[in-house]
Amino acid sequence: MDQERAWILRALQGDQAAFGQLVRAYERPVYNLAHRMLGNAEEAEDAAQETFLRAYTRLATYQPERKFVNWLLSIASHYCIDRLRRNARTPQLSLDDALPPQWLTSDGERPEQVVDRKQEQEMVRKVLATLPPDYRTAVVLRYWYDMSYEEIATTTGSTESAIKSRLHRARQMMAGQLQVA
Amino acid sequence: MGEKVRCEAREQMSVSMSLVLDGQLNRDRQSGLEQHVATCPDCQAAWNAMQQVSTMLAKSPMVGPSFGFSLRVERRLAERTTQRRQLFRGMALLTSSLSLAGVGAALILVIGLGLAAWLWFGSQPAWQQAGGSVPQVASGLGLMGKGASLFLKDLLERYGLPVMLLLGTGLAVTGGLWAWFFSRKPDRSHRNGYA
């Protein structure tokens, strides 16, 4: 934590190497959020990069009492929601859609395990893709980051009751998809 | 025949199911839900599907970017910094040029108007020079123009070419310093091998 604070302070003084350390420390959670939100590797890479660029330019607005990773996830989720709305598309995927390249290879797994894992990942991607952006954000922050209602509300700039409602509606929609399939 | 009957309490049960999955439902309400689900096939199916989705999401691992992500971010950051620096430099150059040009134009205008007023006002009969705001302003401008021209004339007569050369050199040095200030490479924070 002290190390993180030191990197932030140095980055605030324009030290891009220190900011690079922050990128390395948090690239995985930020990328994962973008990937789950946008549904493909290429857009996720771009969105994750953009998140860090925005974080660098807005670093002076970061409040130290907040978790730095949550602040980054907040920037990432807003960016992804904007992007989904701007593109006016919510990926509706068919079973014929190709899997992202990183799911096609794996070390030390039997072929049937690889197939099972790929099918499961594909199913995750499909059910997430059926959700409106706001619902998707709540689900991703709840399941992959284990955030409480309060943390999700702070990250997304919403209220706890709205998050509770979004999670409920999202689960209903996803369960409905599963029952249909 | 074999048609599914939709439970009237399903919506309420569904809210409770979601709260259970988040560990937010108290024990009493949870046991109420369990009892209802045990006797209601519609809610049983919904509960199974919701649990299945929840388990599937909870099991799904976090995915990371491909190798070299941080380097790609640093490269984009450096590019953006350069772009911003160039934009800032351009804006600074433009605004400074405009303000210098504005000051120059204002000086020329004041001197020109002053000289014109001085010449015109000096040629008027005395009775027309008294009273009224226009003659007063013209008189003021005339005095300024006269003062400026006398000052320049005096300088030239007293010091001649050397003072004009000195003034020219001073202006050139000031301009050079100004250009250097806005075009120099900033700054200590970017000398870390990443910019």
Judged against a pLDDT cut of 70, whether residue B178 lies above it is answered with yes
Judged against a pLDDT cut of 90, whether residue B130 lies above it is answered with no
Inter-chain touch B76–A53, beta carbons under 8 Å: yes
- Measured between CB atoms, which of A52, A164, A175 is closest to B50? A175
Distance CA A47, CA A30 (A): 9
In the prediction, which pLDDT does A158 show?
A: 96
- Taking a contact as any Cβ pair under 8 Å apart, which residues of chain B between 19 and 48 contact chain A? 19, 21-22, 24, 45-46
In the prediction, which pLDDT does B127 show?
A: 52
Per-chain mean pLDDT for chain B: 79
Inter-chain touch B65–A178, beta carbons under 8 Å: no
- B73: nearest CA in chain A? A49
- A128: nearest CA in chain B? B57
In the prediction, which pLDDT does A88 show?
A: 61
Delimit the domains of chain A by residue range.
1-92
**Alpha carbon A42 to its chain's center:** 14
In the prediction, which pLDDT does B125 show?
A: 62
Judged against a pLDDT cut of 70, whether residue A69 lies above it is answered with yes
Inter-chain touch B77–A29, beta carbons under 8 Å: no
| ipTM of the complex model | 0.82
Judged against a pLDDT cut of 70, whether residue A95 lies above it is answered with no
Judged against a pLDDT cut of 70, whether residue A3 lies above it is answered with yes
Measured in angstroms, the CA of B29 and the nearest CA of chain A are apart by: 17
pLDDT tens, A7-53?
A: 999 999 989 899 999 999 999 999 999 999 999 999 999 999 999 99
The pLDDT-based confidence of B17 (bands split at 50, 70, 90) is very high
**Alpha carbon B177 to its chain's center:** 26
CATH architecture of A1-92: Orthogonal Bundle (1.10)
The separation between the first and the last C-alpha atoms of chain A, rounded to the nearest angstrom, is 45
The closest alpha carbon to A49, from B146, B7, B96, B78, belongs to B78
The closest alpha carbon to A148, from B54, B24, B53, B56, belongs to B24
Size of interface A-B (CB pairs under 8 A): 120
pLDDT tens, A124-142?
A: 998 999 999 999 999 999 9
In the prediction, which pLDDT does A58 show?
A: 94
Judged against a pLDDT cut of 60, whether residue B193 lies above it is answered with no
Contacts of A127 in chain B (CB under 8 A): 53, 56
Overall average pLDDT of the A57-76 stretch: 95
Judged against a pLDDT cut of 80, whether residue B187 lies above it is answered with no
Q: Is B60 on the interface with A (CB under 8 A)?
A: yes
- Measured between CB atoms, which of A13, A45, A179 is closest to B65? A45
Contacts of B46 in chain A (CB under 8 A): 175, 179
What's chain A look like in SS3?
CHHHHHHHHHHHCCCHHHHHHHHHHHHHHHHHHHHHHHCCHHHHHHHHHHHHHHHHHCHHHCCCCCCHHHHHHHHHHHHHHHHHHHCCCCCCCCCCCCCCHHHCCCCCCCHHHHHHHHHHHHHHHHHHHCCCHHHHHHHHHHHCCCCCHHHHHHHHCCCHHHHHHHHHHHHHHHHHHHHHC
In the prediction, which pLDDT does B145 show?
A: 74
Q: Is B194 on the interface with A (CB under 8 A)?
A: yes
Contacts of A176 in chain B (CB under 8 A): 49
The more confidently predicted of residues B83 and B39 is B39
